[in-house]
């Protein structure tokens, strides 16, 4: 079976590129909306031109986001086909609703682009609002699915059975016996889950695994993540937009660009105040509660320690300890000498799992008669679609050993996760300070504006000040997002679905997926398309029309 390790960075690359475009997709509508509002209220054409230019950038950005979304989507179903089981169960409802969001998002975006400048500003604003609403709704649903991988809401105590340090994840909405049987089948055979679920008729034989298809949507982890991720993405998009206009102001000194930066900086500061102290705090609380290994990794807690400030932020109680891996290991040892065999007995599972899918209605004679190309036998006989898994090979494995082994794998990530987390926090503080300075530089407040102006003067004349502060906004949002996402995704290792599934259980069984040639080709395509896309975005955003003479002549325009 392919080693999943080379495929993880490939998937991550696609996700990161998607994240860049999603951020602009969330931030640009806010910026365009502000411009249209100002145009509507003042009649100043500069605001309309700014809105039009940003709409062109949004359109190219959306296309790039869509293809990277496609890449991520196919990455999931093709490179990680075991995820299809999650899509068919827990993720079914959010992904069905996502179709509503995605299709209407695009339909309203096209309507907005087509009608911009042809209808009155409030009508454009209304269409833009509906578009943005569907775009955010899409973000809500995708984040809900991603959150389930962080905290698999609806499996109740299943993860806790194997890892006693884990909490219960919501109500028990699953058929525990079937879920554990599938997991054990993957462990016993050492093969990805997709080799089980691909078999025609197997789903019918296994039957209902999840009793409440909507359970994923009730997750508190998802609720907080939704606000945290969407606001973070919006801030990044806005920061990049502000920096773009600030760059123009820096280059030209034209006051019309400063006029555009000012309201955008105001909106940015307001949203930042909601994100950093409020939503980020609740996100941290969720990690503490539902991702004990991730929290220990973030805080570098090899051993349990006391830190009143961290404890106050994490638990709201300065006297509580920061739980480290020593305590998590102790929890593993509470299994005593219990084995997987004991678990099999407790769940009343047979020693040998048999899926007789072929015994349903599969008539394989048709396939058996398929003629193949030269070099293959003329006819084939199906090996049968049934599956037999002998669980006795893993029955003697001690649960404590399994638990400790996974903790050890998780702990190996500590230097990276700890560094990434504190880099994130540092840059978020820089971003917050820059936002505050820029806000009070533009909007007068007694005392604070004087302080902001004094700080801003360190950066030189006004053109430099605005540009450098805008650049700090970009650094203060992009770096926390990049690092934060890394902490979120890598911090849940060694599991892909926290406490339930390893990457090796979800990876494709296709052998050449990890072939260096294939990987090199995949990296080349992803990098070439995206860097080409970035360059195109830059051209669309910055370059004037130089080559329209022929077109104007054709259209009879002077």
Partner 1 sequence: MNDAVFIGFVGLGLSVVLHVIFVSMTLGTGLLAAWYRWRAYRQNDPWAELFARKVFKVLIVSELFSGVWGTIITVFLAGFFTALLTLATNTLFIPIAIAIVAIMIRIPAIAISWYTWGKIHPRTHSLVMWIMALSGFGVPFGFRAIFAEINNPMAVGYYLQTGLNPGWMPYANPLFWTLYLHTVAAVISVGGFVAASLTALEKDVRGVKSGLTLGYVFLISQLAFGPLYWYSLDLYSPMLFNAVNTTYGPLFGIKLVAVAALLVLGYMALKSAKAGAIHPATKWLAPLALFTVVAGEVLNDGARYPNMVLAGDTGLPVALFANFYIEIPMPAVYVTLAFLILSLVVFTTAAFYALYRRFIAEVPETE
* Binding track over 156-195 against partner 1, x by CB under 8 A: --------------------------------------xx
Instruction: Report how far residue 295's alpha carbon sits from residue 315's, in angstroms, rounded to the nearest whole number.
Output: 12
- CB closer to partner 1 out of 31 and 95: 95
Instruction: Report how far residue 105's alpha carbon sits from residue 94's, in angstroms, rounded to the nearest whole number.
Output: 16
Residue 208, interface with partner 1 (CB under 8 A)?
A: yes
* Binding track over 37-76 against partner 1, x by CB under 8 A: ------------x--x---x--xx-xxx-xxxxxx-xx--
- Least distance (Å) from partner 1 to the CB of residue 290? 23
Residue 558, interface with partner 1 (CB under 8 A)?
A: no
- What is the DSSP annotation of 402-422? HHHHHHHHHHTTHHHHHHHHH
Instruction: Report how far residue 146's alpha carbon sits from residue 224's, in angstroms, rounded to the nearest whole number.
Output: 12
Stretch that binds partner 1, among 159-167, 243-251, 364-372, 398-406 (CB under 8 A): 364-372
The two three-digit tokens of residue 83, written as one number? 């995820």
Residue 360, interface with partner 1 (CB under 8 A)?
A: yes
Q: For 383, which DSSP code?
A: -
Instruction: Report how far residue 325's alpha carbon sits from residue 318's, in angstroms, rounded to the nearest whole number.
Output: 20
One-letter-per-residue 3-state SS of 37-48: HHHHHHCCHHHH
Residues numbered 283-312 forming contacts with partner 1, rule: CB under 8 A? none
Of 93, 141, 403, 436, the residue at the interface with partner 1 (CB under 8 A) is 93
- CB closer to partner 1 out of 85 and 473: 85
Determine the straight-line distance between the first and last CA of the chain, rounded to whole angstroms.
65
- CB closer to partner 1 out of 397 and 536: 536
Within 116-172, residue ranges assigned H as helices are 121-150, 158-162
The two three-digit tokens of residue 150, written as one number? 């962080």
Stretch that binds partner 1, among 221-229, 298-306, 460-468, 518-526 (CB under 8 A): 518-526
* Binding track over 369-398 against partner 1, x by CB under 8 A: xxxxx--x---xxxx-x-------------
- CB closer to partner 1 out of 511 and 516: 511
- CB closer to partner 1 out of 159 and 202: 202
Collapse the DSSP code of 390 into the 3-class scheme (helix H, G, I; strand E, B; otherwise coil) and give the result: strand
What is the b/e burial string over 132-171, where b = at least 16 CB atoms within 10 angstroms of the residue's CB?
A: bebbbbbbbbbbbbbbbbbbbbbbbebbbbbbbbbeebbe
Contact 13, 68 (CB under 8 A): no
Residue 361, interface with partner 1 (CB under 8 A)?
A: yes
Residue 339, interface with partner 1 (CB under 8 A)?
A: no
- Least distance (Å) from partner 1 to the CB of residue 542? 9
- CB closer to partner 1 out of 466 and 507: 507
One-letter-per-residue 3-state SS of 267-332: HHHHHHHHHHHHHHHHHHHHHHHHCHHHHHHHCCCCCCECCHHHHHHHHCCCCCCECCHHHHHHHH
Stretch that binds partner 1, among 201-209, 237-245, 289-297, 328-336 (CB under 8 A): 201-209
Contact 162, 397 (CB under 8 A): no
Residue with tokens 């806010």: 30
Residue 344, interface with partner 1 (CB under 8 A)?
A: no
Residue 523, interface with partner 1 (CB under 8 A)?
A: no
Beta strands in 271-378 (DSSP E): 352-355
Stretch that binds partner 1, among 234-242, 290-298, 423-431, 535-543 (CB under 8 A): 535-543
- Least distance (Å) from partner 1 to the CB of residue 382? 6
Residue 550, interface with partner 1 (CB under 8 A)?
A: yes
Residue 337, interface with partner 1 (CB under 8 A)?
A: no
Residue 494, interface with partner 1 (CB under 8 A)?
A: no
Residue 239, interface with partner 1 (CB under 8 A)?
A: no
- CB closer to partner 1 out of 64 and 261: 64
Instruction: Report how far residue 198's alpha carbon sits from residue 455's, in angstroms, rounded to the nearest whole number.
Output: 62
Collapse the DSSP code of 440 into the 3-class scheme (helix H, G, I; strand E, B; otherwise coil) and give the result: helix
Q: For residue 87, what are the contacts with CB-CB under 8 A and spacing of at least 6?
A: 76, 77, 95
Stretch that binds partner 1, among 250-258, 419-427, 464-472, 532-540 (CB under 8 A): 532-540
Of 203, 349, 404, 425, the residue at the interface with partner 1 (CB under 8 A) is 203
For residue 55, say if its preceding peptide bond is cis, omega within 30 degrees of 0.
no
Residue 12, interface with partner 1 (CB under 8 A)?
A: no
* Binding track over 97-136 against partner 1, x by CB under 8 A: xxxx-xxx-xxxxxx--xx-xx------------------
- Least distance (Å) from partner 1 to the CB of residue 221? 21
Four-residue CA torsion sign, 507, 511, 514, 517: negative
Collapse the DSSP code of 170 into the 3-class scheme (helix H, G, I; strand E, B; otherwise coil) and give the result: strand
- Least distance (Å) from partner 1 to the CB of residue 350? 20
Of 23, 25, 84, 225, the residue at the interface with partner 1 (CB under 8 A) is 84
Stretch that binds partner 1, among 226-234, 360-368, 441-449, 477-485 (CB under 8 A): 360-368
- Least distance (Å) from partner 1 to the CB of residue 384? 9
C-alpha distances in Å from residue 517, one per residue of 81, 509, 520, 523: 21, 17, 5, 10
Residues across the chain: 558
Contact 222, 290 (CB under 8 A): no
């Amino acid at each position: 079976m392919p080693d999943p390790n080379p495929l993880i960075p490939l998937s991550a690359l696609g996700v990161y590129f998607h994240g860049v475009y999603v951020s602009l997709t969330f931030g640009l509508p806010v910026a365009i909306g502000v411009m249209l509002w100002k145009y509507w209220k003042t009649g100043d054409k500069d605001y309309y031109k700014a809105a039009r230019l940003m709409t062109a950038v949004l359109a190219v950005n959306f296309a790039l986001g869509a293809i990277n979304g496609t890449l991520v989507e196919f990455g999931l179903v093709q490179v990680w086909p075991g995820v299809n089981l999650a899509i068919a169960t827990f993720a079914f409802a959010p992904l069905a609703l996502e179709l509503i969001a995605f299709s209407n998002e695009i339909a309203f975006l096209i309507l907005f682009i087509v009608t911009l400048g042809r209808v009155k500003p409030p009508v454009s604003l209304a269409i833009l609002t509906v578009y943005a609403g569907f775009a955010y709704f899409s973000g809500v649903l995708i984040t809900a699915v991603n959150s389930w991988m962080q905290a698999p809401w609806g499996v109740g105590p299943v993860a806790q059975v194997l890892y006693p340090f884990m909490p219960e994840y919501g109500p028990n909405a699953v058929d525990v016996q079937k879920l554990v049987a599938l997991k054990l089948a993957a462990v016993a055979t050492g093969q990805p889950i997709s080799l089980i679920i691909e078999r025609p008729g197997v789903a019918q034989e296994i039957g209902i695994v999840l009793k409440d298809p909507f359970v994923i949507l009730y997750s508190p982890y998802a609720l907080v993540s939704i606000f945290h991720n969407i606001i973070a993405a919006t801030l990044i998009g806005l920061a990049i937009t502000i920096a773009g206009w600030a760059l123009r102001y820096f280059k030209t000194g034209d006051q019309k660009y400063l006029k555009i930066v000012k309201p955008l900086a105001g909106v940015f500061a307001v949203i930042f105040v909601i994100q950093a102290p409020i939503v980020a705090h609740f996100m941290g609380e969720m990690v503490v509660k539902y991702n004990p290994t991730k929290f220990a990794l973030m805080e570098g807690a090899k051993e349990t320690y006391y830190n009143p400030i961290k404890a106050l932020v994490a638990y709201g109680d300065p006297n509580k300890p920061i739980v480290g891996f020593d305590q998590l290991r102790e929890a593993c040892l509470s299994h005593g000498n219990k084995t997987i065999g004991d678990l099999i007995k407790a769940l009343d599972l047979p020693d040998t799992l048999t899926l007789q899918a072929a015994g349903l209605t599969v008539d394989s004679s048709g396939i058996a008669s398929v003629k193949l190309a030269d070099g293959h036998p003329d006819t084939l006989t199906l090996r049968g679609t049934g599956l037999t898994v002998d669980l006795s090979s893993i029955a003697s494995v001690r649960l404590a050993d399994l638990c400790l082994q996974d903790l050890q794998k998780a702990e190996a990530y500590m230097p990276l996760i700890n560094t990434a987390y504190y880099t994130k926090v540092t840059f978020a503080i820089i971003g917050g300070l820059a936002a505050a300075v820029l806000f009070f530089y533009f909007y007068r407040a007694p005392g604070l504006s004087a302080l902001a102006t004094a700080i801003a003067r360190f950066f030189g004349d006004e053109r430099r000040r605005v540009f450098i502060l805008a650049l700090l906004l970009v650094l203060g949002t992009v770096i926390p997002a990049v690092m934060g996402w890394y902490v979120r995704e890598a911090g849940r290792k060694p599991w892909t679905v926290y406490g339930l599934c390893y990457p090796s259980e979800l990876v494709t069984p296709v052998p050449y997926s990890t072939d260096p040639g294939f990987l090199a080709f995949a990296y080349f395509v992803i990098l070439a398309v995206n860097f080409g896309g970035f360059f195109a975005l830059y051209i669309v955003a910055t370059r004037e029309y130089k080559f329209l003479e022929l077109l104007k002549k054709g259209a009879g325009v002077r």
